[in-house]
Amino acid sequence: MKNNLPFIVVIGFVFILVAGIIGYIIGIQLTNNQETVMSFEENLSMVDESDYVSPEKLINTNITGTLTESEIEGLLLMREEEKLAHDVYTILYEKWGLSIFSNISDSEQTHTDSVKALLDKYEVEDPYVDSLGKYENQELQKISDNLIEIGGESVEKALEVGATVEDLDIKDLQDLMGNTTNEDIISVYNNLQKGSRNHLRSFTRMLDRYGVEYAPNYITQDEYLEIITSPYERGSI
Ligand SMILES: [Fe+2]
Ligand SMILES: [Mn+2]
């Protein structure tokens, strides 16, 4: 028994040493993971602030005149479509607590506000309904109700809803820009669309982390691939 004592001491010492090393390695890995998550989240919020749209910079006070019926219809649609993005993301943030939704919904608020600035300038009555998830446009009402329901099913579905909203927004802005020569409108729409491309990049990155591949519903697959494989766009255009 006496002879075994040094052996037991050595084994005990080796055991403590190995446990210490393993603990140290696990500790480093946890810290690294936390850093990865943090920088990813920081990255998303950075991206988002550059997508804030300030109408003061985009609307030219020297441009005057009246709008065509289709330009007015377009503004009414976009005022509520950007509100839809804001409201849906706000509701999905409350449901899932993912910061991507609160970050992007802040940016959508500046988008709907910038369309409001155009309505004001051209003296068009604002269709805004002051209630979360409610709209005057009944088509948008249906889309919003449907997306909120789908987004409530799972985090993955919620992120897909995010991508779908951006997908729709990019397509509608593309159509509306083909229907106007008004520089104020084009300048605001270009910046809203740039914001949507960045948001689509962010939702796609998040979906990637959940192993989900998004298939576009409104823009073409080629247009989608071109957007998500190109870098984030900074500043106003
Ligand atoms: Fe957006
Ligand atoms: Mn937007």
Instruction: Give the model confidence (pLDDT) of 197-219 as tens digits.
Output: 999 999 999 999 999 999 999 99
Q: What is the pLDDT of residue 4?
A: 72
Residue 167 is encoded by which pair of tokens? 């997908």
- Per-domain boundaries in the chain: 1-44, 47-228
Whole-number pLDDT of residue 132: 98
Least confident of 27-36, 127-136, 186-195, 213-222: 27-36
Nearest of 188, 198, 189, 203 to residue 227 by alpha carbon: 198
Q: How far is the CA of 23 from the centre of ligand 2 (A)?
A: 46
Query: 7 CA to middle of ligand 2, Å?
Result: 70
Residue type, 118: L
C-alpha count within 13 angstroms, C-beta hemisphere, residue 187 = 17
- Pick from 185, 174, 156: which is nearest to 224 by CA? 174
Closest among 164, 183, 185 to 71, alpha carbons compared: 185
Distance 129 CA to ligand 1 centre (A): 19
d(CA 93, CA 102): 6
- Ligand 1 center–CA 62 separation, angstroms: 29
Q: Return the pLDDT at 63.
A: 77
Say how far apart CA 171 and CA 218 lie, in whole Å. 6
Query: Would you say 227 and 196 are in contact if contact means Cβ atoms under 8 Å apart?
Result: no
pLDDT of 237: 86
Any idea which ligand is nearest the CA of 114? 2
Mean pLDDT of 141-164: 98
104 Cα: distance to centroid of ligand 1 (angstroms):
6
Distance CA 76, CA 123 (A): 12
CB 232 within 8 A of CB 201: yes
Residue 165 alpha carbon to ligand 1 centre in Å? 7
Range with lowest mean pLDDT among 44-58, 145-159, 217-231: 44-58
- Kindly identify the ligand whose nearest atom is closest to the C-alpha of 202: 1
Helix axes 69-96, 138-151, angle to 10 degrees: 20
Kindly give, in sequence order, each residue whose CB lies less than 8 Å from that of residue 186, ignoring residues fewer than 6 positions away: 177, 180
Separation of alpha carbons 167 and 172, rounded Å: 9
Question: Cα(74)–Cα(79) distance, rounded to whole angstroms?
Answer: 9
Question: What spacing in Å lies between the alpha carbon of 70 and ligand 1's midpoint?
Answer: 23
Q: Are 165 and 88 in contact (CB under 8 A)?
A: yes
pLDDT tens digit sequence for 10-51? 666 666 666 766 656 555 555 444 434 544 554 554 455 778
- Cβ–Cβ under 8 Å, residues 86 and 112: yes
pLDDT at position 56 is 79
Distance (Å) from CA 33 to ligand 1 centroid: 28
Structure tokens at 61: 């006070």
Q: What type of residue is 11?
A: I
User: Which of 32-46, 49-63, 142-156, 192-206 shows the lowest mean pLDDT across its residues?
Assistant: 32-46
- Above 70 in pLDDT, residue 142? yes
Which residues are within 8 A (CB) of 51 and not within 5 positions of it... i.e. 6 or more apart?
107, 110, 194, 195, 198, 199
What's the CA-to-centroid distance between 209 and ligand 2, angstroms?
A: 23
Q: 58 pLDDT exceeds 50?
A: yes
Pick from 211, 205, 170, 217: which is nearest to 189 by CA? Answer: 170
Superfamily of the domain at 47-228: Ferritin, core subunit, four-helix bundle (1.20.1260.10)
**Residue 115: other Cβ atoms inside 10 A:** 27
Give the pLDDT score at 235: 87
Ligand whose nearest atom lies closest to the CA of 79: 2
